[in-house]
Amino acid sequence: AGDALLENLTQGGERLITYAMDLDVEVSPESETTPQTVVDVQFVKGTLLVTKKQVREQTYLIKNSASAARSLLIEHPKQTGWELVASRQPAETTRDSFRFVVDVPAGETDKLHVETERTVEERIALSSVDVDAIVQYKSARTISDEVKQQLEKVISRKREIGRLIDEKNQSQQQLDQIAQEQERIRNNMSELDRNTELYSRYVKKLTEQEDEIENLRDSVEELTNKIQQKRDELDSFLLER
C-alpha cells in the first residue's frame, strides 16, 4: 500500500506517518484573513494604547469519492501568537499543529472550518500623530466615552496648532515672494540711470516693501512663539492624563 521512513522515536513516544496516497479522497484548503479591527483604546500618559484583533479562517473542503466512509485526520499548523477560536475542538494538539478528526461518508463531501485569532497592542504617541489618525481611533465603536472626550480635546488643540502653522507658512511664503521681487528690481535698477523716473519708482517700491518685510518677520516670530507655546501646553495636557 505504500512505504514511509520513521524518524527517531523516544521510548513511549508517538509519530504520525504518511505512507501512501488515497486517490479517492480530495482535500482543498482555502484561507482568508480579515483586516485588523480595534477592540480597545486606552489613554495612558500621552499615548494611545490600541488593542487590535485579527482573524484568520481556514476551510478544508473534503470530497470522498470512495465506496466506503473515510475518517480523516487533518493537521492545521499552529502559529505563534494565534489562538484557536472555540468551534470544533481538535482531537489532539501537538507542539506544531492542531489535529482534527473528520468522518466523511462514502460519496459525500464535508468541510472543516478552523478559525484562529490574535490580538496585538500598539502604542501611539499623540504628540506626533496627525489629527486624521486620532479621529479614526476616536470613531472606533469599542472606545469609551471618557477616552472620546479626551481625544476630542487633543484634536481641538492639534487643529489650533495646525492653523497657526498654516498662518506662519503663509507669512513666510510672502517673505520669500518679496525677496524674489526685490532681487528682480535691484537687477533692473543696476541697468538704469539714477535720475530716471523708473529708478525713483523702484526706490519707492523697495522702501514700501521693507516696511512690509518688517511686519511679516514680526508675524513669523510671533507665530513661531505661539506654536511652541501651544505644543508645550499640549504636551503638559497629555502627560496629565
pLDDT for residue 241 is more than 70 = no
Number of neighbours of residue 168 by Cβ within 10 angstroms: 18
**Residue 180: which residues within 8 A CB-CB, separation 6 or more?**
none
- Check: CB of residue 116 under 8 Å from CB of residue 85: yes
Q: How far is CA 132 from CA 122, 136, 231, in A?
A: 17, 6, 18
pLDDT score of 76: 94
CA terminus-to-terminus distance, the chain: 70
Closest among 167, 131, 155, 123 to 234, alpha carbons compared = 155
Q: Which residue in 18, 23, 21 sits closest to 4, CA to CA? A: 18
Give the pairing type, strands 70-77 and 47-64. unpaired
Which pLDDT tens digit goes with each residue over 109-148? 999 999 999 999 989 888 888 888 888 888 888 888 888 8
Give the type of residue at 231.
Answer: R
Q: Which pairing describes strands 83-84 and 70-77: parallel, antiparallel, or unpaired?
A: unpaired
In this prediction, residue 195 carries a pLDDT of 82
What pLDDT digit, counting tens, does each position of 183-230 carry? Answer: 888 887 888 888 888 888 888 888 888 888 988 999 999 999 999 999
The percent of residues above 90 in pLDDT, for the chain, comes to 43
